[in-house]
Amino acid sequence: MGHAVPGSARGSPRSVGPGAEDPTWKQMSHRILVVEDEPDLLEAVVFALRKEGMKPIPCKDGEEALRLVKERRPDLVLLDLMLPGLDGIEVCRRLRASEETARIPIIMATAKAEETDAVIGLGVGADDYMRKPFGLKELVARVRSLLRRSAEPPEAAGQPIRYGELEIDSARHEVRLRGKSIPVTATEFRLLVYLARNPGRVYSRAQLLDKAVGTDVIVIERNIDVHISALRRKLEDYGDRLLTIRGVGYKFVE
């Protein structure tokens, strides 16, 4: 059972993963896989990321995206929802289903106006989504924010938090249910740690966004609901410990 380092530095040629306290982290060239079938937009995004000192890897379709993730080990994937052949949802689902790629940070981009597409995207494990058309400045801010969130451990590594047969292990960045590792995304992990660390305490969606997701970008509070639903499914019989407090937010019950 592999234990991914947050920030998906594992398998990269770098010997040290990005860390919050590492002053060189900001200067590191993060590899961003940009999956976009619209040539003009792909070019614009690649240009914007390169200007920020990142290393964009351009990609035009879903099959190529899956191959490039394995070959190039990007630090983050920017994934268009509507793609010819394998669409973004399917790419996201496959990346999440593989132990090797389950924790790669993913931002999904959708051209459709319907919020349901974004909700589906988060439901299959994207960490964030952006609605098209988006500004390149906002895109860069989102990418930076997610890279930072994924690199920082949600708390100092210590003893795993245990509730019955559920173990939340910050040192290994892993959630185990009855001894078996559960694939959770970086955002889901942070949310779970945050709630489970203070059982019984009610947190508003705004607080959870602030503490577990990050407020340096505009994210709708409803995203929290989608991440919580995904967590509940993954936690099986422990899922109902994540209690909805109507009109307020959530709490973890012991």
- Site residues, Ca ion (CB under 5 A): 37, 80, 82
Distance in Å, CB of 37 to Ca ion, minimum: 5
Distance in Å, CB of 36 to Ca ion, minimum: 6
Angle among Cα 166, 172, 175 to the nearest 5 degrees reads 25
When the beta carbons of 82 and 243 are compared against Ca ion, the nearer one is 82
Distance in Å, CB of 208 to Ca ion, minimum: 31
When the beta carbons of 68 and 175 are compared against Ca ion, the nearer one is 68
If phi over 0 gives left and psi between -120 and 50 gives alpha, with beta otherwise, what is residue 5? beta
When the beta carbons of 38 and 155 are compared against Ca ion, the nearer one is 38
When the beta carbons of 37 and 64 are compared against Ca ion, the nearer one is 37
Distance in Å, CB of 39 to Ca ion, minimum: 11
Residue nearest Ca ion by beta-carbon distance: 82
